[in-house]
Chains A and B, each alone.
Chain A
Amino acid sequence: MRIHHETARVYKAVHGWIGISIGLALFIAFFAGAVGSFKAPIQRWTTPPAPVTATPIAQVPALVERVLAVYPEAAADYLIMLEPGPAHPGRMSWKLPPGSSPHGQGPVRAYADLAPDGSLHVTRTSPSPVGGQIVQLHLKMGLPFDETIAKPITGAVAAVYFLMLVSGVILLLPSMMNSLFARRVGGNIKRMWLDLHSGFGLFGLPFHFAISLTAVVFCWQGQIERVQAAVFGAMPAAAEQGVVPLEHPHPEKMLTPEQLLAALARQAPGFQPSAMLYTRDDEGRTRLLINGVDPRHAVRGPSSGAAEMDPFTGVIASASRLPGRQDGWEALETNLRALHFGNYGGLFVHWLYAALALGGCALVYSGNLLWIESRRIKARGNDPELPCQPRTSRILGALAIGVPLGCVSGIAITIAAAKPLTGRVEDLAAWHYWLFYGVFLLAVIWAQLRGPGRAGVELLRATALAIASIPGVSFLATILPFGWNHGIEGAAVDAVALVAALAFWMMGARALRRSCGKPFDSLWHVPPSRAHGHATHRGPPRQTAFPAAKEE
């Protein structure tokens, strides 16, 4: 396909300038999204084991009655967990009034169970905040703002990300067939990065288109809806024909959870319920939502759909979020949303999505390096004077290293810190929050101080160590009196972290080898020692001689 050279030039300008301005935010979104999609195992890993005496499901009505007698405020919104575990240590739970800290300090939920002797046992605790914070990083692309401010910005970045994809493809089209599988490793290093960049972009293209489009809808749905309503009027005028909750004459007339689950299984075979959410509005009407999944269908939420049931009759009151029982419009919306979450197709698709998101990280990382490298000033001939690289290139180069690696090591450290911190500090959520941003900022500042070349090597190694601290604290927890381990489910998290740590360590070694071979006017060149009186470099000698051959 031929592209007019003028068009190509416009797209090149757009691709480059917009890429460098949103690339770093996209990296955080990709990485936090990939990690955050494993929120459940991370939450288990980061939450201490709690003695769960799960009340038998047959005794739940007695449990609820006992709890509501002591804590009437729980009636407004309580949850019956069908399979309580470490991250949800209790059959019944309800939200406590929010604490004073902006990061949600202290216990946020109360969990109740009936002890074997029939006494009521209530604990106030909160599942580890780490998983939720990583998901927040994904939603806000790391911006430390309130969601009402950060979400529209995320939407704008996602929209521009779509433009990046189109412009990238248009730039690639003329030469695509020649270089589709070419990976010109070695020789010209810029060529290698370009091949990697195009490869990651092209082979992940359907994923990236789906992610950017769905992200724009998620972020701007409310705003678009309001504009449409303002221009066309809300159609139909009688909006919200959702289920009218039934009058609630006597709570004792509600069916028991056992009966309700049996009724649900009859009406929606194949749906696997996980939790029952009871809510009561100001007029005392009770609604029941049963969350769950159906492996044969996509689900509307990130990890679950829901059946709305009439708690008095056991009839499904609304199937609008019930997988496989939705009408065409609802199924359409659910399936489009599922394209973002990757919650169809089980573990395989989940890992495929994670791999594609990490591919997105590589795409952004390589794109940034290419843009910066293409702007560097090359030494001409044998001029002994080093050309001064533009200040902006140095700053951007350091950012392109510091932000991604700061994000990765920040997330790793905040996960690892859960085991030593839990139970030792008062405001756990704030600790995790500031730990992430602290490590993140440290990496960003370090990259600025050391320059992109040296910081690249050093931060890759630091990141490898940060990730290794996850299995590290797990190991220490087995020999020292702190922390906990969850058996095979926790060990899976440790194993993944160990592999990732090794990968980052190897990348660090490669970066070191590459930076030694760099022409000494390159931004990525690591000088053997600073000529201008800065502290000499400690550690192994990085380079003994200037490279004999210049790049290109």
Chain B
Amino acid sequence: MSAPSYSRSALDWWGRGAAGLFLGGLLALGLSGLFARFGSGEIGVATARAAASIWLFVATWLPVFALSFRARSAERAWVLLGAFNLLVWAPHFLNASGR
């Protein structure tokens, strides 16, 4: 175990974690929005239907955050999660522009 590789990874876990925290949160938000739009039909209000999208948000965010540390590097984590975000958010933007 070489010293430079160790210190790099030690610094890196902040980068990976931040990607999981922020982009993971954004991803979960986009997914919960898709779920409300095409599934439950309710979001942002205090009903059981809308609560389902809150549970989905948390159930997406936490695993993405926890698994983001598996990325080979911080850069990869940001790029990969960024790509997933584009995928999830594209329908929202297409829908908004088509309206």
Which chain A residues have a beta carbon within 8 Å of chain B's beta carbons? Answer: 4, 6-7, 9-11, 13-14, 159, 162-163, 165-167, 170, 212-213, 216-217, 220-221, 224-236, 239-241, 320, 326-327, 329-330, 332-333, 336
Contact = CB atoms under 8 A, between A and B. Distances in A.
Contacts of B36: 228, 232, 235
12 contacts: A163-B65, A166-B66, A221-B54, A225-B50, A225-B54, A228-B29, A229-B43, A235-B43, A236-B41, A239-B45, A241-B47, A333-B52
B80 interface: no
B58 A329 contact: no
A7 B70 contact: yes
Nearest to A216: B58
B85 interface: no
Contact of A217 (B37, B41, B54): B54
Contacts, number: 120
A161 to B, nearest CB: 10
Contacts of B37: 232, 235
Mostly, the A contact residues are helix
A229 B42 CA distance: 10
B55 A225 contact: no
Given A11-B69, A217-B58, A332-B48, 7 more contacts: A6-B9, A10-B12, A163-B66, A232-B43, A235-B42, A327-B48, A329-B49
Given A234-B45, A235-B42, A329-B40, A10 B13 contact: yes
Interface of B: 5-6, 9-10, 12-13, 16-17, 29, 32-33, 36-37, 40-55, 57-59, 61-63, 65-67, 69-70, 72
Mostly, the B contact residues are helix
A235 B9 contact: no
Given A166-B66, A213-B62, A228 B40 contact: no
Given A10-B16, A239-B46, A336 B54 contact: no
A507 to B, nearest CB: 32
Given A10-B9, A14-B13, A213-B62, A240 B45 contact: yes
A327 B49 CA distance: 10
A225 to B, nearest CB: 6
A235 B46 contact: no
